[in-house]
Chains A and B, each alone.
Chain A
Amino acid sequence: MNWNFQLGIHPDADQLSVFVEGAATSREHERMLAHLAECAECRKAVFFMQPQEEMQAVAREPVKGWIWGRLLPVGLPAAALACGLVAVMVHIWNRDSALRNPQQVASLRKSEVHLPPTTVAPSTDSETVQRFGTARGAAPASNLSGHANLSLPKSLNMPESSGQAAAKVAAPETTAAGLSANAPVGRAGGSAGGAIGGISPELSLNGRNFAKLQQIPAPSSAQDAASQNDLAKKKDLGGLMIEQASGQDKALAGVSGRITDRTGAAISGASVSVRDAIGNTRQTTTSADGSFNLTGLPAGRYELTATAIGFKTTEQSIELNPSQLAMMEPVLDVGTVSGTVEVASAAAQLQTESANVGQVSTGQVVAEIPGVGRDVGVPSGLPVTATVSHGKRFISLDNAGNLFLSRNGAKKWKKINAQWAGKAVRIELTPAYSSEAPAKPKNETLGKASEAAVFLLTTDSGTVWTSKDGAHWRQQ
């Protein structure tokens, strides 16, 4: 093949691709450029050959829209049906959990369970839909408020497995149903149904629940909706008539919220646990948006502990009132050291008939302590081996030895050009700043040169560099 492109002779696809991929020799490269400078069409072809990121997005959009368009007729009714089911499930789960709380005084005797005549009816589709409608009406909070868990109290003393089931249910099923709330469906419904079928003799209900039950002798689980037979069977158990609970009614409480770092960024995968006075513990992890939800807790005082890798553990005391969903927004500080915040609270005051959502406490501000090891995303995409921060300045070191600086609290990163020879292996704060008290005066032993230095860098050749602002470095 000749790379001497004379007039009217154009490079072929092979030559173009060799050029574009940088596989051409320097002479070929030169010849191609000379041709391209003259030939508008080959130039056009060469630019066409470049992958175009923006074009990709444009091109793929219609495909997506088309698929959704096709699924819409099926999806909408399915979502609506799922919504209805969710409402029913939540309601029943609510009752079930309340019933299973051993602290509640009331008891239920098997002999007293009977079916109200109104509940036994032929099950038709329209009826089911009607019931769903009723259920939705009866439990609007679960469907609309986004805090379905509010009406889903669950005992702290519940078996571990149920607790986990409840924690897991929210995400996948909710997405399927197209709900944005944390409404539990599916598995919760399943276990709720099972509970009613199997454990109902031990259950107790209060007057309110009883009233609701009579209102909705509805199906008991999501799976049941699929099969008419099942539906009919479960219905037998749906309309339980329950002895009026005697004594004080102890509604359950919960705590939910969002865990963020100092910059307001959500921390996902953080572990959140609450511990009551006796030492019973319930634990969950935060979702991708940093939110967590612990419900079904008996009212009382708890210690809430939030831990995340690379952050200091935060502990807070919270007081949960009955039927109350407390909102907590702990802010975690970067660092490995744990700090404890003790918040004293008053003795538990039981409130029997209120179902208010109350703001109990917001996250306690912990003194900003710079630390190491926060997992941040740096532009190189490589794993970060260490991150240090001072004020809003963050410096991250990835495992290839690249150093990145962020001046705005780890939001935007900029690569720091290496002024040192070799690879940076360690980044830390100078001793004056790495101690726990940020306001501590500068360490006198550090000498004048590094007096103001904040960041300390060690390269693989052993040289130590310091910097005050992270951008300008000086060898020690």
Chain B
Amino acid sequence: MDIPPANINQTEPSGAEDCTASVAKGAAVEMELGPESRLLPEMLGEELWQAAGAELVELSKAEFAEALETIGAKDNFGLDPGKQANERQRETFWRALHLEELAIARGCALGRESAWRRFLAQYREQLTGAAVEMTGSVTLGEELASALYSELFGLTEREGKRWSPLLRYSGRGSLMGWLRAILAQRRVNQYRKIGRETELGEIEPAARVSEQIELKQLEDLRAAIKMTLSAASAEERFVLSAYYLDQHTLHEISRVLRVHEATVSRKLKRATEHLRKELLRTLRERGLSRRAAEEALGIDPRDVDINLRRLLQESEGGPNSNKADLDKGDLHKERQE
């Protein structure tokens, strides 16, 4: 992917800033909640506090209850926005959280020593292992992991306050999964710093497409792809992008989607066929002869894959694409609520 170099060096700080701002905002929301507007019943709060073993990580009942309230409010108890969760739904939501891991994360974020001891005992090795796995190198992995450690320790002070990303762990997924996610994000940042030059090569096939297809046609195709894609389901688009743009294998995609490889294959085939048909139709609507349209896409079905990839890349890099917008933003810039 071609990435404008403009924001490369600002990646980390801006991400952290956003997080801080958003958390500060979250704290402000909590302040507004008076004791009478608390949603967590005291009995349940105590029960969950005990189930989480929060005492072992020096987390008071009030602190833990506060964490639960914040998380519930943030995700609207897993319901669609606008819906009001009833007592039962709230309880179900809280009970489904990874309470013990949440307690550890909160304890760590608040700088409790026993929480850190437990964290290190349980996750240190796994975290380094995951980083090594992700980077494919011991040195890089250890570097990545230790950078994340200092971040988690809250060494980045913002507005005179220590702040740890662990505060943002909600307990809905596992803590290890969260750690993997944050590692992956940091890795992507690293990757685009390192891999920027090599990615220039990816522009080449698109250039070749430009040679094959006349400029006007290309514009048409771009528009057609955009239109067809916007009508496709999110999953189809994801599969198409992951397969054609990122060139992941069906197996890798199937793991992300948690479905069988064969299902992904079927979905991909359907999406590709649909895309091709729609493109042909669009092109013909725009005045191309059937033959010219087929030529543009490649008559031989075997070419379709390659051409689709090129076209998708083209459309990704095209002026109508939202890519430029994306690059202006930072990967870790999160929506402020």
A binds B: yes
On A, residues with C-beta under 8 Å from B are 1-2, 4-14, 16-18, 20-23, 25, 27, 30-31, 33-34, 36-52, 55-56, 58-59, 62-63
Does B59 sit at the interface, judged by CB under 8 A?
Answer: no
Contact of B246 with A43 in the complex, beta carbons under 8 Å: yes
Other A-B contacts than A10-B332, A59-B141, 11 sampled, CB-CB below 8 A, are A5-B335, A7-B326, A9-B333, A18-B173, A33-B234, A37-B234, A40-B316, A45-B181, A56-B133, A59-B132, A59-B133
Q: How far is the CA of A14 from the CA of B316 in the complex (A)?
A: 27
What does DSSP make chain A's interface, helix, strand, loop or mixed?
helix
Which residue of chain B is the closest to A8 with respect to CB atoms?
B329
Closest 10 CB pairs of A and B: A8-B329, A37-B237, A48-B184, A17-B173, A34-B234, A17-B177, A13-B181, A13-B182, A33-B234, A16-B181
Contact of B75 with A1 in the complex, beta carbons under 8 Å: yes
Contact of A40 with B1 in the complex, beta carbons under 8 Å: yes
Does B168 sit at the interface, judged by CB under 8 A?
Answer: yes
Contact of A7 with B180 in the complex, beta carbons under 8 Å: no
Contacts of B237 in A (CB 8 A): 33-34, 37-38
Contact of A43 with B181 in the complex, beta carbons under 8 Å: no
What does DSSP make chain B's interface, helix, strand, loop or mixed?
helix
Does B223 sit at the interface, judged by CB under 8 A?
Answer: no
Contact of B329 with A7 in the complex, beta carbons under 8 Å: yes
On B, residues with C-beta under 8 Å from A are 1, 19, 74-75, 78, 80-81, 129-130, 132-134, 136-138, 141, 165, 168-170, 172-174, 177-178, 180-185, 187-188, 191-192, 234-235, 237-238, 240-242, 245-246, 248, 252, 255-256, 258, 316, 322-323, 325-326, 328-335, 337
Contact of A1 with B337 in the complex, beta carbons under 8 Å: yes
- B164 shortest CB reach to chain A, Å: 12
Contact of B241 with A40 in the complex, beta carbons under 8 Å: yes
Q: How far is the CA of A124 from the CA of B284 in the complex (A)?
A: 97
Contact of B133 with A51 in the complex, beta carbons under 8 Å: yes
Can you list 19 A-B contacts with CB-CB less than 8 angstroms, sorted by A residue number? A2-B335, A7-B326, A8-B328, A11-B334, A13-B182, A14-B172, A17-B177, A30-B234, A36-B241, A37-B237, A38-B241, A41-B1, A43-B238, A44-B246, A45-B188, A48-B134, A52-B134, A55-B134, A59-B132
Contact of B185 with A63 in the complex, beta carbons under 8 Å: no
Q: How far is the CA of A327 from the CA of B181 in the complex (A)?
A: 59
Contact of A20 with B325 in the complex, beta carbons under 8 Å: no
- A349 shortest CB reach to chain B, Å: 64
Q: How far is the CA of A14 from the CA of B167 in the complex (A)?
A: 10
Contact of B168 with A52 in the complex, beta carbons under 8 Å: no
- A382 shortest CB reach to chain B, Å: 21
Contact of B136 with A59 in the complex, beta carbons under 8 Å: yes
Contact of B138 among A10, A17, A31, A62 (CB under 8 A): A62
Contact of A43 among B81, B130, B242 (CB under 8 A): B242
Contact of B173 with A37 in the complex, beta carbons under 8 Å: no
Q: How far is the CA of A31 from the CA of B132 in the complex (A)?
A: 30
Q: How far is the CA of A39 from the CA of B234 in the complex (A)?
A: 12
Contact of A41 with B188 in the complex, beta carbons under 8 Å: yes
Q: How far is the CA of A55 from the CA of B184 in the complex (A)?
A: 15
Contacts of B235 in A (CB 8 A): 30, 33
Q: How far is the CA of A5 from the CA of B182 in the complex (A)?
A: 18
Contacts of B245 in A (CB 8 A): 40
Contact of B74 with A1 in the complex, beta carbons under 8 Å: yes
Contacts of A4 in B (CB 8 A): 335
Contacts of A6 in B (CB 8 A): 335
Contacts of B182 in A (CB 8 A): 13
- A262 shortest CB reach to chain B, Å: 35
